[in-house]
A and B are shown apart, each in its own frame.
Chain A
Amino acid sequence: MRRRSNQTLLGLAKQLGKGHVMNVPYQPSTFVVMYNKDLFQKAGITSVPKTWAEFTDCCAKLVAAGITPITVDDAYMAAFFGYNMSRLAGVDKTLAMVKNNDFSDPSVLKFGEIWSDFAKKGYMSKKAASNIYPAGQVEEIATGKVAMYLNGTWLPNEIKGSAPNMNWGSFAWPAMDPKGNGIEANNYGAQSFGINKNSKVGPEAFQLIVWLTTGKWDAELAKQSVGVPMGNDSEWPAQLKEAKAVIDATTIRMPWGCGMEDNPEINVKIKENLAKLITGAIDAKGFAAGMQKK
């Protein structure tokens, strides 16, 4: 199995299991900017943004073409904030912010300034402030009104019913500040199979898991669920081909949302303040103040 399966994912499973593979991963995914290639083409964008300046420029071009650049909804706000903070302050500092519930760092104000400005310019969809999951992806992305969404590679599968022929592309969230991390830091993970420690048929269960997660059935699952196969030499679905490059270039793995969902009290703060920032009800200072409330 070791030779046939994705080394990065198995390595991750080993690391999370403290040196032992406690769970067998399958259906891997990563958190990237999923975008609509047709809309990018319509706006005259020829290459994906690799820096923040290019990203801002992309947004301007999209708005000029009558397209809303990016959106978010209440389920993904924490991860959106976490990713931004990893680029503005770095992964380690962001994780410390979560651990201590301390958002007094100036990068929080910087986030507020950037997105308050982007909201005013129409780069961030106004509806993002009121989107209840899955409104962001179903009403805005699938209908072709919004071009980008910082989301997981599971997104094409989730809305394949509403947008079966969408021309998907993906790129890593670009670097925003030299103090923070860049595209080498990403979140990736997978579903996984585990075996109950009290099971009396452990070896047989393991054989079943191997059979399900390699070869023919791994490929079949990936095909039917527009997902990523585990096999090293398996074909990635067309919609997710570019995401492969993101995972391959990842040297620092962030936990989900860079930790922003670990504490529900932080999560509710983010949702409340980011929504108000987008509608303009509060400004960047108000956002920073709201995040510092304990």
Chain B
Amino acid sequence: MSTTPRIVEVRQNVLKHNDEVARGLRKAFEDAGVYVVSLVSSPGSGKTAFLEKTLTLLRGKNFRPAALVGDLATDNDAARLARSQAPVKQITTGTLCHLEAAMIQNALADWRLGDLDFLFIENVGNLVCPSSYDLGENLRLVLLSVTEGEDKPLKYPTIFNSADVAVITKLDLAQAVEFDHAAAHANIQSVRPGMRLLELSAKTGQGMDAWLDLLASQAR
């Protein structure tokens, strides 16, 4: 007996289940009045130092920030962030190279979102995998440290394209590594025309004001 194949249209987003959870999260965040920022970058780009500084400065301005930290195995990052005295929770991903919306949902199950003004989600250090997954965040930052090289945006265009703001970190080291600001900016604008760009150093505090102003303007 011969079989005749027939093709049926489906037109479904492959990540629709993740997107559904992310939509639910976005609604819950909006209802609770919490502004949610996610951070993606390579390992070692200064995400944790930047976030620790951000949490500390926001608390100093009487905001109520909190953070979720995705990490492959250790809770070192969460321990560092906890020094800011903001609520911090670790999401250990095991061998998974990115966070998914359901992991955020689970991690938030016993938190009262209404008690927060800002929630930061630090993704696993990785410039490839996190780009496909919506976490329900309002703003996605991609971090690039001056020590990584100006051509990183061209090597990982998708992650830069999926982010809203590019943050150049470790500005205090820029001179030592002869960081070419103009080249980095041009590369970022090439992969994501019009992308907002911040340059800062969590260590010296340089540039943190502009970042805090951006956040404060979003507080609900």
Interaction A to B:
no
CB within 8 Å of A: which residues of B?
A: none
